[in-house]
Structure 1
């Protein structure tokens, strides 16, 4: 697409809503799904933006995602609850879970929600500002019980899912927003590199022979390569520990592990969400001042390359969002082809 044909965020969100409604989502569910997929695109999380609309449409059409309904609260105490989303879209459930954790934190200083079987939550980053705007800290971890594509360090077979980890932190200025995978890269980035005919920027895959490779084609070979844990060939033991941490806090704590997962779960996620209200232990504004001092210290560090100053997590994503809201969304040809598939599938022409 040329610069002149970049679609507006408003037009793309409305188009996605119409597509989702046609596949069985109620209007409120479709609005939440479209909003949070688009939010991923706006922040530059391309692999978890509208690129994933195709999966969501197919899951709705097949009945793998429920288009309407409520979560089931399986157990709870004052500041912690376990939810079963029962295959409702995670894009619809996650804002509700964050809101509930926020309410707990206002009453008790902290609130934790563990959600299982939330169908495809997409980018965790898009939910963080719900907490930071309220002056609260938030951390999240997600896993996929029906998926095993990440190897522990020293292995060439998989036992983990790619397991994203995210934090949101309020400061006196813009928030710190971190969203990262605990594998060397996300499966979606491998598929994107394959579609665009590019190599991965670093050896993130382990072949069936036990070799590390940058070739995304290895991921779809027979036998298929697997993703390496964060840290790669030399330091993957650190990523292995973090992946185990994530799955203990999600799969084990939700009592819905890989032995319980069904094939129909597809990309359904289990998510651990914790919110902390800093005013439970500090005077109002004290945390933000301390957080801002830490951020300033990071940004003041002497860069290796003077043309590339040190950035704080979230700084690039927020700048990307501001630019795209002003000038239009930036889609590669490969992503646009996937969106065209969605348009044809739903008989909803893409915006121009």
Structure 2
């Protein structure tokens, strides 16, 4: 593995995104979001996406230096269009509007449709949680070939459609952030395995004949296979809620033949933002969470496990380690990043100088 300091990596990625047409502010937002994903251990949503983003910028499959536009404003309801701008921009703008609305109305229901890749959805949940609000996110993904087979199916029909809920920190516990793909693993994790020449966990993939496999190549080489839903019919059902609530409800593009094969990544997202004090300031919400988590995490760890963790805790531990010791990057991902940078006019020595 190649190791790069997170600040040097962020500076490099910002320069690369800038070479694809973004102004410095936008390039910085994209770079911070991607490198932060790596720091948190979500390499699937990190710098491995840079080359793809740059390709989309060059072909016009995303709107460089774009912003959201307001479609409708109806009380707690805000409907926004992302205009296929960078999700690292539209996500921030949508959450800022939603948080402001929740402060005045006690809640907000924010629809964001037609955004380029929103990246790690947990980032938007964390924005809300840091502001003191609970948030629930349903997301769909279109713009490329289907990736995930419906439960019982032998071929792909929809994508990894993430789900996220984030809860603010209490006096005794940090924020709770459940952020997950509705597939057994995110496609990016298969990409990381493919680039590293490793197998994927059992139960995550099927080949083109519908047979279980651990070979990551089935998602990147012909004939292609498909990802499987997590939890069998449960993940499948949650993924379709991403289509129904995250896109159809908003008038965004849904998974069907019309909206596939556009060679881009298009996300729509429904975000529900809730003020924890909305049902009454006398409800001991934080104390009840602390009591519950203390009991749950007091369970005796299974063999080979050091302690019981809550959602978001592994990411915080990984972030502390990687920010102190550098971000590990597999050789395949690094080679593609170098190639994209050199093709954009960067000197190869810029990469050699920060890699260990």
Same fold (TM over 0.5): yes
Tell me what 2:247 maps to. 251
Aligned-partner Cα distance in 2 for 1:298–1:52: 36
Aligned-partner Cα distance in 1 for 2:304–2:159: 37
Tell me what 1:164 maps to. 162
Checking the alignment, whether the CA contact within 8 Å between 2:113 and 2:267 is kept in structure 1 is yes
How much does 1:52 deviate? 0.7
1:65 counterpart (42, 62, 65): 62
Spell out, residue by residue over 1:24-48, the C-alpha distance to the aligned partner (whole angstroms, 9 max, x if none): 1122211111111111111110010
Tell me what 1:261 maps to. 259
2:52 is the counterpart of 1:55 = yes
Aligned-partner Cα distance in 2 for 1:329–1:108: 41
2:131 is the counterpart of 1:104 = no
User: Equivalences for 1:132-171 in 2 at 5 Å?
Assistant: 132-147=129-144, 148-171=146-169
Tell me what 1:204 maps to. 204
Given the superposition, is the C-alpha separation of residues 206 and 263 from structure 1 closer, same or farther in structure 2, using an over 3 Å criterion?
closer
User: Equivalences for 1:86-125 in 2 at 5 Å?
Assistant: 86-125=83-122
Structure 2 runs not aligned, ≥5 long: none
2:22 is the counterpart of 1:38 = no
Tell me what 1:225 maps to. 225
Tell me what 1:296 maps to. 294
How much does 1:306 deviate? 6.2
- Paired residues, what number? 345
Structure 1 runs not aligned, ≥5 long: none
- Helix, strand or coil: the match of 1:29? helix
Spell out, residue by residue over 1:284-303, the C-alpha distance to the aligned partner (whole angstroms, 9 max, x if none): 78322222222222211122
Given the superposition, is the C-alpha separation of residues 284 and 87 from structure 1 closer, same or farther in structure 2, using an over 3 Å criterion?
farther
Aligned-partner Cα distance in 2 for 1:306–1:222: 38
Q: Which moved more, 1:323-332 or 1:175-184?
A: 323-332
Tell me what 1:18 maps to. 15
1:84 counterpart (81, 84, 96): 81
TM-score between the two structures when normalised by the length of structure 1: 0.92
Tell me what 2:271 maps to. 273
Aligned-partner Cα distance in 1 for 2:260–2:151: 27
RMSD value, Cα: 1.9
Tell me what 1:184 maps to. 184
- Helix, strand or coil: the match of 2:169? coil
How much does 1:55 deviate? 1.0
